[in-house]
Structure formats: C-alpha cells, structure tokens
Structure 1
Amino acid sequence: MSLPKIAYLTGEYPRASDTFIQREVAALRMLGHEVLTCSIRTTGPEHLVGPEQREEHARTFRVLAACRSPLRLLRAHARWLRHPSRYLRALSLAWRTAPKGIRGRCFNLIYFAEAGVLASHLAEAGAQHLHNHIAKASCTVAMLASELSGIPYSFTIHGPDIFFEPLHWRIDEKARRARFVACISAFCRAQLMCFAAPGDWDRLHIVHCGIDPARYAPSAHDGQDLLFVGRLAGVKGVPLLLRALASLAPRHPALRLRLIGDGPERAALEAMTRDLGIAGRTEFLGYRSQAEVAEALAGADVFVLPSFAEGVPVVLMEALAAQVPVVTTRIAGVPELVEHGTSGLLVPPGDAEALAAALEVLLADPDRRRAMGAAGRARVEAEFDVTIEAAKLSALFTHGPEARP
C-alpha cells in the first residue's frame, strides 16, 4: 500500500525553538512519506542556526509571501469559485468561527484568503493530507484550506497557551472537523476533552513529540555545570533559576550556568545576573543548532527548566537522552516524562527555594546524578523515540483514526 503524500503547516517553519517538528518531518520521510512543508510566515535568519534549518527553509512554501502576489491570490480563489457551494461553505465557516468583534472577523477573512492560496498549492502538488502543528491561527488556515479543497486535515495540539483561550481559537470546531487530533500527552488530551464534544473523543490520540536518542552521547561530565535551553521569555521562569543560582553560589564556588536560547527577556535577564553578582557564573549563548545543543548537554551535570507552563518539553527529552538528570516543575504533562526521584526532581512552579533545594541535592551527589541519567535515557528510548511516534502518525495518516497508535 502506497503511503499518502503529506503537507505539514505551521505558523513559522523551521524555527530553532521547534526542532521537534523538523525531526518528525524527517522521520516521516524516512518511513517513505513525501512531506511538503508549508509556513504561514517567513522564518527569520536568527532561526536558521544549522544545516537542517537552512535546508528545510529552502524547500518550504511560504503562504504570506505567495499571497503578496495579487495575481496568484486571485487565481487561487478563482479556482475555488468554480465550486461555489464549497467556496461559500468555507467562507461561512471562516465567519462563524471568527473571534468576537470586527478585528476577529477581519483576521478570519485574512485567514480565508491565505487558505485559498494554500489549498491551491496543495492541490497542484498532489497532497493527500494536511497536518498542522500548533492549533492556533495556522490551524484555522488549515481547517479552511481543507474545506475549500476537500483534502482532509489533522493537527497536533500542544498547550499550554492554546488552552488559555480555547473558545477564541475554536479548538472544539477544529477537533470536530479534523480527521484526527494528535495530543502530545494524556494531560493535553484531557484538556482538549473539556471542549471537544464527547462524540469526537475517539479521534483524539496520544502521539508524543519525540527525539532520536542516538544523537545524544551520554554526559561524561562530573562537575558543577547547570544548563538551561529554551526561549528567554517570562513563561520559562528563568528569574527563579538566577535567584536559585545566587543562593547556591556561596556553597559551590565552581557552580556555572549556561543558557541556550533567545527571546524578549534576554537583556533584562543579563542585567539581573549583574544585580545578583552572578554574571561571572552565567553565559548567554543565544540560539544554537541541534548538534550544538547535544554537545552542550554532553558537558552538563544538571539540566534545569523552571517553567510556569509547558506541554511536554522536548528539551527535557534531549537532556534525559544525554543521561543528564533534570530539575523541572511539576506541571501539565511533565510528570508523564520525568519520574520524580528516578530520572529527575520535580518542584512546585514559582518556588525559587524549592528549586535551589533540588539543585543542592543533585549537586551534592554525583552517584545519584548518574543513576538518574541512566533511568532517564531508558524512559526516552521506550516512550519518546521520534521513529516510534512518527510510525503512529504514519498509521493515522494512512488508515485514519481507526488505526489505534
């Protein structure tokens, strides 16, 4: 049986912060799928940090860039106007699912315009299924493109922010119309079940984001080096980590922290390290390629992620694959990955003292760090291998929701 030709759509692809999508696409291609990548916006150069990103950027169809050609926009919609009932159904769907107010209506009409161009591109390319990551605006475009073209669609829902405004993004209607929904954790699936109709629950499948464990060499480091990888934004809780570092510093003269990532809070965080007297112990590295992240993990003793809201962070999978124990927060789907006391330590979100205490425990016990690292690697190999998770998606793309992953 031939495998269907899949199109992948996100708001911005590829991004340095969303390497899990790139891995998933690569794994599907290895399984034999032809995968067309599509992005609403054009990725900024700051995200093209490695050869993987640059190659994907070169082959990705950019919807907004295509829409800037008036002739292409008109031709695309003229194509779908030849099917007036379908066109009017899609236009009605855009109007009915728009957020309240004039602004919301205007945005959904813009998404409808984008959907016409995307749908035309997919039809010309022979795509047989459209899959979306991140169920916000780009998923609205995917839903409308599916209605225009008749190409079935699905999406992966992550959280947490989509669940802050579920009605604004109409995840109920998106789930109802999707062929299936991939939920990244049991917690995520339960959150969607709060809004999706019970009749749609059987099409909500747990498919983890995953990594290739073979890319990560076990950490052979045995020192006092902490590592954080993530966007430098408020939701990641980095100020708590800096306060914890300042409190631990007097007892651990060799303690160091490296931060990989960038974002709106970087300047403020760098100023905070100076105010706390730990600027000499911290290093802000900016975005790094997948290979550079793997190299940084190989030199880390403890990985720290003090987030206030997450789905199931892929970077935690990477740390565990590198046999680096983690200290992170007990939120959302994180306990489905990190087993407290076995592969890492979970602390209450927003508690700098608890974060410092957990770090103290691991910094003082190299043997426990090694045991946790080994347990974490085994957990990732068993449940978060991208090849295994991509095979689940492939079965859903090929056989539909009756193919239980």
Structure 2
Amino acid sequence: MSAPGPVMWLTGEYPRATDTFIQREVAALRGLGVTVETASVRRTDPSHHVGPEQRAEAAATFHLLETALHPWRMTRAKLSALRHPRRFARALALAWRTAPKGLKGRIYNLVYFGEALVLANRMKARGITHLHNHIAKSSGTVAMLASEASGVPHSFTLHGPDIFFAPEHWALGEKIARARFVACISDFARAQAMLFSDPAHWPKLHVVHCGVDPARYAEAPAAPDDRLLFVGRLSAVKGVAVLLHALAQARETRPALTLDLIGDGEARGALEALARDLGLAEAVRFHGYQGQAEVARALRNTGVLVLPSFAEGVPVVLMEAMAAARPVIATRVGGVSELVEDHRSGLLVPPGAQAPLASAIAALAGDATQRAAMGAHGRAAVIAGFDAEREAARLLSLLRHGPGGPIRPEPAA
C-alpha cells in the first residue's frame, strides 16, 4: 500500500529533550515512506536541543506563535481562512463553545483560534492531507480548530495523566468526537478516554505505544553494584524528593550507593539543596539534559534505573532502561504496570512511599544475579511490545485507513 500524502505533526514544543519519543516516531514514519512535516506552537529553548538530530529537527519545524504575532502573516492567514466563511465561522464558534470557563479561558481559546488559522494556512500551502497532534491539551485545541477551519482531518496521541485531572477544561470529549482516530499510549489511557467520551466514539480509540529503538540501547554488560540512575524532568510530579530521602535511608546499610540524575526543570535548585541537607552532596550528581546517545551511555554504566513518579502514562525512560537490559524500580501508577512486570523486569513500589523505595534500592543494588535476570526479561518485553518502528507501522495503518475507511481531506466548503 502506498504511504499517505504529506502529514503534519504538531505539539506544544518540538523538538524537546523530554519528548524524544515524538522525534523517534517522526523518524520511523519517514523511514516508512511518509512525508512528515513538523509544527510547534512555541519555539523550544535551545537547551533542549542536545544533539545534531534535534538541532536539525528544530531548524525544519514551523512555529505557530511567532508567526501569529507577525501582523502581516496573521492577516494573510485570516484572509485565507475567510475564503471559506462557513468553515471560519464554525471554527470560531467551536473555539468559543469549548473554551474553559471565565474570561481568561475565552481569551486563551481566541489565541488558539488565531494559531489555528496560521496552521491551516500553512497546511494549505504545503499540501497537508492529515494533521496529528501530541499532548492533547492546548496544542490539541489548536489542532481541533485548525482541522475545522481547513477541512484537513486530524487525530491525536493521548498521553496523560495530567489531562485526565481536568478533562472538561481541555474539552477532551469534544476532541475525541472530532478526531478521525485517537492513539492511546496505554490501556490505561484508552480506559480514561472511554470514561470521558461517548461510547459511539470508542471504536476510534486505539492503543499505539510510544516506543524506543532497541538497537540504540544494545544489551549492556554487567554494571557495578550501587550505581543508580534517574532520567526525567526535575518537577514535583516525578517524586525525586522521595527518591533522595529513600537514597539517604538505603545508604545507612549500603553507604556506597550513588545516584546520577539526567534532566532539568523548575525543581532542580530545591532538589540540589535537599541533597546537601541530607548529606548526599558527594553521592548525587545532577547532569542536566543529555542527548539520546548520552542517556544510552549512562544506562550502560548504571545498575538500576529508578523512577519514583506520583503520576505517569507509560514512561519512555523505563523502556530505554529495559532495552539496555537494566532492571527498573518504579511506582505503581498509570500505565507503568503495563510495561514493568513486578519481580520479573523490575520492582514496583507504592508512590510517595520512602521506606519501600529504600528497601527496593537496597535489594537490587546488592544482587547482581537478580539484576541480570530482570534486565534480560525487560529487554525481551520491550523488543516484543515497544519497538518504535513496529508502533509507527500501527500508526501508519491508522493514517491510511482510520477506524472507518481511508482518510481524505474534507471538500472545500
């Protein structure tokens, strides 16, 4: 079967060091013959461009907000949209109707409407036949409005968990109703989508995992005891403060334990201060953002990856660690248990629980045989169910056919 016509991939910020799975998905689709153009609502800070691949993607990505702020470009987008007045009116009414409550919500949705017109004009100029969105909050609103204004069908990947905390605020049910299909990253995400949508739209909901390239994380040799790794955003939701307290507790019996943290975020300063207060200044190293090659190298040199999050979808960093044949310690939240099999590929602990986390760290740090067995099981699980190329093929099938027939742009109104 032939590949679909040119498609547009949209998210709030692209490329971004914390969302490399989107970059992998785009690359895999291109490898399958799809012409994928990328758009980002905002321009990502250069600190996120941690390798040549991301710098190249950033240079080729279309940026909506800065285009919308350019008076002539915004005027040109409006004039283009007004050539189809019924579409324009429907999109404007949709923006007003789906806005969060209050004046602020209305203003934000009018801003998203302006960005949607810019995107619609860009898609027309580039011959885009389908629009796909990741992270279905504000950029998902832009995608929904751009689809209405342009007649180009759209879909989105539903991640969570944060959108599930305020589904009405983000008009999740409306977005599902209007999407051609929804790629849910886990069974958990699909179940939440079912909760917030009409049963008539459930056939649109398909599980398409985020994936990794297992070859990039080739099975690593045995690592020394007592080396822990965290990779992720340094924000409250990741539970790093609990990890630091657990590390201090575990070091009472295993004083050689160390922790490397790859990532950055608003909580970094507070976490560095907490590490000093806990007497961990020499045991904990903060490395900031790193590229995919550096993360793969860090995994080769660590014994256990720890992710103590309070809320998650299906964390890609756990897939990366398991692809490198490293056991993981994670919290039993969201879709984590769909990836990590407790006591087979890692250990699952309750979220926010310091003592169980400390016990899990001590148990794996001192047992190389168990780590090797868990690592082998985890790598096999990722190869079987979370390979980026295989998941991209699932997405390509949806792009070609959707849940109810071939996807075609809507005729001009």
- Structure 1 counterpart of 2:283: 281
CA distance in 2, matches of 1:353, 1:252: 14
Letter in 1 for 2:123: L
Q: What are the equivalent positions in structure 2 for 1:49-198 lying under 5 Å apart?
A: 49-198=50-199
Q: What are the equivalent positions in structure 2 for 1:374-389 lying under 5 Å apart?
A: 374-389=376-391
Which secondary structure state, in structure 2, belongs to the residue aligned with residue 304 of structure 1? strand
Which secondary structure state, in structure 2, belongs to the residue aligned with residue 217 of structure 1? coil
CA distance in 2, matches of 1:132, 1:349: 30
TM-fit CA distance, 1:27? 0.2
Cα distance per residue 1:139-161 (max 9 Å; x no partner) = 10000000011000000010010
- Structure 1 counterpart of 2:255: 253
TM-fit CA distance, 1:403? 7.6
CA distance in 1, matches of 2:242, 2:219: 28
Which secondary structure state, in structure 2, belongs to the residue aligned with residue 251 of structure 1? coil
> Aligned-pair RMSD on alpha carbons?
1.1
Contact 1:38 1:60 (8 Å CA) reproduced: yes
TM-fit CA distance, 1:65? 1.4
- Structure 2 counterpart of 1:348: 350
Which secondary structure state, in structure 2, belongs to the residue aligned with residue 396 of structure 1? helix
Contact 2:254 2:362 (8 Å CA) reproduced: no
Which secondary structure state, in structure 2, belongs to the residue aligned with residue 89 of structure 1? helix
Runs of 4+ off more than 2 Å: none
Contact 1:321 1:380 (8 Å CA) reproduced: yes
- Structure 1 counterpart of 2:245: 243
Cα distance per residue 1:330-376 (max 9 Å; x no partner) = 01100000000100000000100000111111112110000000000
Q: Does 1:318 align with 2:320?
A: yes
CA distance in 1, matches of 2:113, 2:139: 11
CA distance in 2, matches of 1:150, 1:2: 22
- Structure 2 counterpart of 1:302: 304
TM-fit CA distance, 1:2? 3.0
CA distance in 2, matches of 1:122, 1:230: 33
CA distance in 1, matches of 2:204, 2:218: 37
Q: Does 1:2 align with 2:30?
A: no
CA distance in 1, matches of 2:150, 2:70: 21
TM-fit CA distance, 1:223? 2.1
Cα distance per residue 1:257-316 (max 9 Å; x no partner) = 000000111111111111111110010000000000000001010100000000000000
The TM-score normalised by the length of structure 2 is 0.97
CA distance in 1, matches of 2:251, 2:141: 48
Cα distance per residue 1:213-251 (max 9 Å; x no partner) = 000132321321000000110000001111111111132
CA distance in 1, matches of 2:392, 2:105: 35
Which secondary structure state, in structure 2, belongs to the residue aligned with residue 169 of structure 1? coil
TM-fit CA distance, 1:52? 1.3
TM-fit CA distance, 1:7? 0.3
Contact 2:226 2:366 (8 Å CA) reproduced: no
Letter in 2 for 1:378: A
TM-fit CA distance, 1:61? 0.2
CA distance in 2, matches of 1:265, 1:389: 33
Which secondary structure state, in structure 1, belongs to the residue aligned with residue 9 of structure 2? strand
- Structure 2 counterpart of 1:369: 371
CA distance in 2, matches of 1:156, 1:212: 19
- Structure 1 counterpart of 2:410: none
Contact 1:395 1:403 (8 Å CA) reproduced: no
Which secondary structure state, in structure 2, belongs to the residue aligned with residue 258 of structure 1? strand
Q: Which moved more, 1:223-232 or 1:245-254?
A: 245-254
CA distance in 2, matches of 1:240, 1:103: 35
TM-fit CA distance, 1:253? 2.9
Q: Does 1:219 align with 2:220?
A: yes
Contact 1:11 1:40 (8 Å CA) reproduced: yes
Seq. identity, %: 61
CA distance in 1, matches of 2:405, 2:52: 35
Contact 2:257 2:283 (8 Å CA) reproduced: yes
CA distance in 2, matches of 1:94, 1:271: 44
- Structure 1 counterpart of 2:266: 264
Contact 1:235 1:308 (8 Å CA) reproduced: yes
CA distance in 1, matches of 2:283, 2:8: 45
The TM-score normalised by the length of structure 1 is 0.98
- Structure 1 counterpart of 2:411: none
CA distance in 2, matches of 1:309, 1:298: 27
Cα distance per residue 1:91-146 (max 9 Å; x no partner) = 11111000111111111111111100100001110111000000000010000000
Contact 2:325 2:375 (8 Å CA) reproduced: yes
Which secondary structure state, in structure 2, belongs to the residue aligned with residue 33 of structure 1? coil
Give the direction of change, closer, same or farther, for the CA distance of 1:256–1:403 in structure 2 (3 Å limit): farther
Letter in 1 for 2:245: R
For structure 2, the residue ranges without an aligned partner over 5 or more in a row are 407-413
For structure 1, the residue ranges without an aligned partner over 5 or more in a row are none
Q: Which moved more, 1:313-322 or 1:218-227?
A: 218-227
Contact 2:147 2:153 (8 Å CA) reproduced: yes
CA distance in 2, matches of 1:269, 1:59: 35
CA distance in 2, matches of 1:250, 1:139: 47
